[in-house]
Amino acid sequence: METTGCGTALITPFRGDGSVDDRALYALVNWQIDSGIDFLVACGSTGEAATLEDDEFLSVVQIVVEAAAGRVPVWAGCTHNSTRALVKRAERLARVRGIDAVLSANPYYNRPSQEGQYQHFMALARAINPLPVVLYNVPGRTAVNLEPETVLRLAADAANIQGIKEASGKLPQIGSLVHSAPQGFKIFCGDDNLALAAIGNGAHGLASVASNEAPGEITRMVRAALRNDWVTARSIERKYARLFEANFWDSNPGPVKTILSMMGRCDATVRLPLVKPDRATKQRLERVAGEVGLLRDAPLPEGDMRMF
């Protein structure tokens, strides 16, 4: 896998009635790429994949791939707590031309052992081989941790398991992977507020939530860190540290969509069981967005949608 740098864990825009807003998604992808993002992740947890129906999920991935048009790599999220269901969904996903990797999180709710997770991810890797798989360790959402030893075992046993998005919040775990992973295996931080520390430990980039709102600046931060320009990287991190925190004042992606709606990029609608942030939180989000300069952008003109 050649991908490095900053990738956006894209939101999935919805209209007020809860349907997928294709036009807003297409425009969002173009804006992200025009801003310099290194890669895009469709249908991850920030994309509310857990509430997308199968046909919607495939449609969202297809829109992102078509809008990206080969300009940046596209990863497609594919997660399920049933291995059998995961394999079926992944086999459909693998038929979408233009996907560069499949991102798959730990099985949620079941709380499988390390052996269970190993067999789960091996089944996925075999089903879509040679399409690359990026593991996604996010114990805060799934209630299980994917231990470094299991990651290394998976990387050794499946040639197409080529990276991991590490969102455990455990820097020693990232360090262990950096020191032990085989050559070519890529490690991406999954937490904006830990990105510089992770890259300092040897991570290859960031899969970001905040780059939904500030793609150019967050990408510049990550690239600066990767080339050891820590003065620039830390300056940008200081500017956006409050935004990194604010994006999780309510369940993700509620705060991100609220700020993007203030920027004129999409509606703030999220799908149940998520709800929009309350009025007080929205006011706090507006203050933070204003302080970091996000609200200076004019709403996207209708003519820039570049739809199909």
Please give the pLDDT value at position 302: 44
Please give the pLDDT value at position 307: 38
Domain ranges, residue 110: 5-227
User: Which one of the listed residues 26, 108, 118, 165 is annotated catalytic?
Assistant: 165
CATH number of the domain encompassing residue 177:
3.20.20.70
CA Rg value for the chain: 18
Is 140 part of any domain? yes
Question: Could you list the pLDDT tens digit for every one of the 308 residues in the chain?
Answer: 789 999 999 999 999 999 999 999 999 999 999 999 999 999 999 999 999 999 999 999 999 999 999 999 999 999 999 999 999 999 999 999 999 999 999 999 999 999 999 999 999 999 999 999 999 999 999 999 999 999 999 999 999 999 999 999 999 999 999 999 999 999 999 999 999 999 999 999 999 999 999 999 999 999 999 999 999 999 999 999 999 999 999 999 999 999 999 999 999 999 999 999 999 999 999 999 999 999 975 444 443 443 33
Is 301 part of any domain? no
CB 190 within 8 Å of CB 207: yes
Is 235 part of any domain? no
Judge whether 239 counts as a catalytic residue.
Answer: no
Judge whether 165 counts as a catalytic residue.
Answer: yes
Is 264 part of any domain? no
Is 266 part of any domain? no
Please give the pLDDT value at position 297: 53
Domain count, the chain: 1
- Nearest Cα residue to 207 out of 24, 10, 2, 1: 10
Is 241 part of any domain? no
User: Which one of the listed residues 136, 186, 240, 282 is annotated catalytic?
Assistant: 136
Is 150 part of any domain? yes
Please give the pLDDT value at position 2: 84
Is 144 part of any domain? yes
